[in-house]
A = this chain, B = another copy of it.
Amino acid sequence: MSETGQARGKSRRESILQAALDCFTEHGIEGTTIEMIRDKSGASTGSLYHHFANKEDIASTLFLDGLHNYSEPLLKGLAACSDARDGIEIMVTSYIDWVTENPDWARFIFSARGRVIRGAAAEALKDNNRKQFMALRDWLQPHIEQGVLQPLPLDLYHALVNGPIQDYCRAWLAGRVRHSPRQHARTFANAAWRSVAV
């Protein structure tokens, strides 16, 4: 019996993903080799390529998992909220909470975003985007109709509310700013509100 044979099936897959995430955050995606992931996870080359098609596949799996982990609590929080001002606040804080609680994931997401994604992962990504898009639209609609929020295109809402936090969080994760995004949560929420409220 092999020594590492213990970690079979799902757990082996998980260990590969975890090792890959560690390597990616430390050396960047391009900077990590399959060998690094293999050695760090304790898997063999064959095992690795049994679970994933290639390095790209590992990266996009992680990317989608990360996005999903972020958007789930956001959508849940939004669905449970009927006040416009509170909703904007939830969008801001749930983003900031996720980044500050999962800095490794967030760092990875920022670095992986913008890469060309192909195949099944691209479809899954579109799906994820569409789901988030529709949830946001459904939540906004009544507030816009009631004249509480401005009738802007949806993408503009995303830009105005998420844009500033994204930019600041990216800088924070890169170590370029001193204060945690949490300390500015109120500022961001206020700015977002002033941008989109009637």
Partner of A177 from the list B110, B153, B188 (CB cut-off 8 Å) is: B153
Q: In chain A between 134 and 174, which residues have their CB closer than 8 angstroms to a CB of chain B?
A: 152-153, 155-156, 158-160, 162-168, 170-171
Q: A196 to B165: give the CA distance in the assembly, Å.
A: 15
Q: In chain A between 85 and 142, which residues have their CB closer than 8 angstroms to a CB of chain B?
A: 110-116, 129
Q: A25 to B30: give the CA distance in the assembly, Å.
A: 17
Chain B residue, CB-CB nearest to A126: B176
A interface majority secondary structure: helix
Chain B residues near A77 (CB, 8 Å)?
Answer: none
Whether a CB of chain B sits under 8 angstroms from the CB of A31 is yes
Chain B residue, CB-CB nearest to A116: B28
Interface residues on A, range: 35 or more
State how many copies of this chain the complex holds: 2
Please determine whether A176 and B155 come into contact, CB atoms closer than 8 angstroms. Answer: yes
- With known contacts A159-B168, A163-B167, A164-B164, A116–B187 Cβ distance under 8 A: no
Chain B residues near A188 (CB, 8 Å)?
Answer: 159
Please determine whether B168 and A165 come into contact, CB atoms closer than 8 angstroms. Answer: no
Given contacts A31-B116, A156-B184, 19 further A-B contacts (CB under 8 A): A27-B116, A29-B30, A30-B115, A30-B116, A111-B116, A158-B167, A158-B168, A159-B163, A159-B165, A159-B167, A159-B171, A162-B167, A163-B165, A163-B166, A163-B168, A191-B194, A191-B195, A191-B196, A194-B195
